[in-house]
């Protein structure tokens, strides 16, 4: 019997198949890696901000360039504005013909300026010269008769003293002398009248002013009874403006007139933009218009440049009082927000301070204020770039910083 070889037991090889992905060890490893990455990222961000913020400093903003205005001390007038006035000549005269006759010549240009006494026109003088000659002849004749009568009177007086003639004859001769003297005086009046009539043939300007359009042409007969005359003359230097003021201002106006103050009156055009002339109150009317509650005033203007024209309508501004010693600034530097009225004041280092002010009376671009001292410098533009503490550079200066003590 053969021996059987012993059986050797074979061991099966160990399987190397990987564990499924959802197993616990795999999950722990993934979360660990994610946590490490998050920590690294946070540390990197922190270091980035620390490194970025440490070495650099933001550059300072450059000063804002501004125009400036200086507050000053002065007087501020209180005005009544928006008054309607009419330009009225001091005199309007028709150059009349004081004798009737044919107009010989016109010696002016329509619209020209003339002076009192300037020759405007001439009437044919020949009829009046003939009357003067006749009157002078009659005067000479009666003077001769008077001289003869006086000589005879002297003879009669001598004869009466010698009792050669009666007293009645002497008295008759004396009466004849008086009669001839009266005739001479009458003749002298006729001569003077004829001389005046002859002078009236020269029509001269009674006032200084501007002539209008001529009303009679040469060759026509002018009558002394005509009221139109040869031409109208209007005095325009000086000239007046008549305007009305509400009766509420009457006490102030009367007080100023009683003190002898010259109340300034300014005339503006229709748009109230152009100042045509300045004058002063000449007279106050003596009655209040009950229908309108106003009183009329007349103001006098020199009108040297002829800016005011007769019957022109103008806007009038009347000065009724003056406030003395006010702090004045340009109205354009005043700023407003919802709660305050303020200005930007520059200090010695050219840094602006936003300062609240109280605005009083405003006249054009000038305002009286409280809260600013005369001499202080104010910013006048670039307000949208300014706030309290903003450094500025007044225009006209350089950008160099100020030296200490300089």
User: What whole-number percentage of the chain has pLDDT above 70?
Assistant: 86
Confidence of residue 363 (pLDDT cuts 50, 70, 90): confident
CA–CA separation, 278 and 301 (whole Å): 6
* The pLDDT of residue 62 is above 50: yes
pLDDT tens-place string over residues 244-286 = 999 999 999 999 899 888 899 999 998 888 999 999 999 999 9
Q: What is the pLDDT of residues 158-195, one digit of tens each?
A: 999 998 889 999 999 999 999 999 999 999 999 999 99
pLDDT tens track for 13-46: 444 444 454 555 566 667 777 777 778 777 776 7
Give the Cα separation of 99 and 197 in Å (integer): 7
Q: If 0-12 CB within 10 Å is exposed, 13-18 middle and 19+ buried, where does residue 162 land?
A: exposed
Q: Which CATH superfamily is domain 77-89+236-322 in?
A: Efflux pump adaptor protein, beta barrel domain (2.40.30.170)
**Integer angstrom CA distances of residue 186 from 98, 128, 290, 352:** 23, 18, 58, 95
What pLDDT is stored for residue 313 in this prediction? 94
Three-class DSSP category at 129:
helix
- The percent of residues in the chain predicted with pLDDT above 90, rounded, is 63
132 CB neighbour count, 10 Å cutoff: 20
pLDDT at 27: 61
> Are 355 and 361 within 8 A, CB to CB?
no
For residue range 281-323, list pLDDT tens digits in order. Answer: 999 999 999 999 999 999 999 999 999 999 999 999 999 888 8
Residue 98 near residue 224 (C-beta atoms within 8 A): yes
pLDDT at 7: 44
Give me the pLDDT at residue 253, please: 92
Token duo for residue 384: 């949208």
Rounded distance between C-alpha atoms, residue 240 and residue 279, angstroms: 9
pLDDT of residue 53: 56
Tens-digit pLDDT profile for residues 80-100: 888 899 999 999 998 888 999
- For residues 400 and 230, the model is more confident at 230
Residue 74 vs residues 64, 243, 266: alpha-carbon distances, Å: 30, 29, 20
Give the pLDDT of residue 59: 58
Cis before residue 238, ω within 30 degrees of 0? yes
pLDDT at 100: 93
Can you give the residue ranges of every domain in the chain?
A: 65-75+326-394, 77-89+236-322, 92-233
Third-level CATH fold of 65-75+326-394: 2.40.420
**CA–CA dist 196, 129 (Å, integer):** 10
* Class at the top of the CATH hierarchy for domain 92-233: mainly beta
């Amino acid at each position: 019997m053969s021996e059987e070889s012993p059986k050797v037991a074979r061991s099966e090889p160990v399987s190397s198949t990987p564990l499924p992905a959802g197993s616990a060890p795999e999950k722990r490893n993934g979360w660990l890696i994610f946590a490490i990455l998050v920590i690294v990222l946070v540390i990197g961000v922190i270091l980035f901000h620390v490194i970025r913020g440490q070495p650099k400093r933001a550059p300072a903003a450059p000063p804002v360039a501004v125009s400036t205005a200086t507050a000053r001390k002065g007087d501020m007038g209180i005005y009544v504005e928006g008054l309607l006035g009419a330009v009225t000549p001091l005199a309007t005269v028709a150059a009349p013909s004081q004798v009737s006759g044919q107009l010989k010549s016109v010696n002016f240009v329509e619209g020209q300026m003339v002076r009192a006494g300037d020759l405007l026109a001439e009437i044919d003088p020949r009829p009046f010269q003939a009357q003067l000659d006749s009157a002078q002849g009659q005067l000479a004749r009666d003077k001769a008769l008077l001289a003869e009568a006086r000589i005879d009177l002297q003879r009669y007086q001598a004869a009466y003293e010698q009792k050669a003639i009666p007293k009645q004859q002497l008295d008759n001769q004396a009466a004849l002398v008086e009669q001839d003297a009266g005739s001479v005086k009458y003749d002298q009046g006729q001569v003077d009248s004829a001389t005046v009539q002859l002078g009236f043939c020269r029509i001269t300007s009674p006032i200084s002013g501007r002539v209008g359009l001529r009303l009679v042409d040469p060759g026509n007969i002018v009558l002394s009874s005509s009221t139109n005359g040869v031409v109208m003359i209007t005095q325009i230097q000086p000239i007046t403006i008549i305007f009305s003021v509400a009766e509420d201002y009457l006490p102030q106006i009367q007080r100023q007139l009683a003190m002898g103050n010259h109340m300034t009156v300014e005339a503006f055009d229709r748009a109230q933009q152009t100042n045509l002339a300045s004058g002063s109150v000449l007279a106050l009317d003596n009655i209040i218009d009950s229908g309108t509650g106003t009183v009329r005033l007349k103001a006098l203007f020199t009108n040297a440049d002829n800016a005011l024209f007769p019957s022109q309508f103008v806007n009038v501004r009347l000065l009724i009082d003056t406030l003395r010693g006010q702090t004045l600034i340009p109205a354009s530097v005043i700023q407003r927000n919802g709660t305050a009225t303020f200005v930007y004041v520059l200090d010695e280092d050219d840094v602006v301070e936003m300062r609240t002010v109280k605005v009083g009376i405003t006249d054009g671009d000038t305002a009286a204020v409280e809260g600013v001292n005369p001499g202080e410098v104010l910013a006048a533009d670039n307000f949208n770039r300014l706030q309290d503490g903003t450094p500025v550079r007044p225009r006209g200066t350089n950008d160099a910083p100020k030296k200490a003590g300089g």
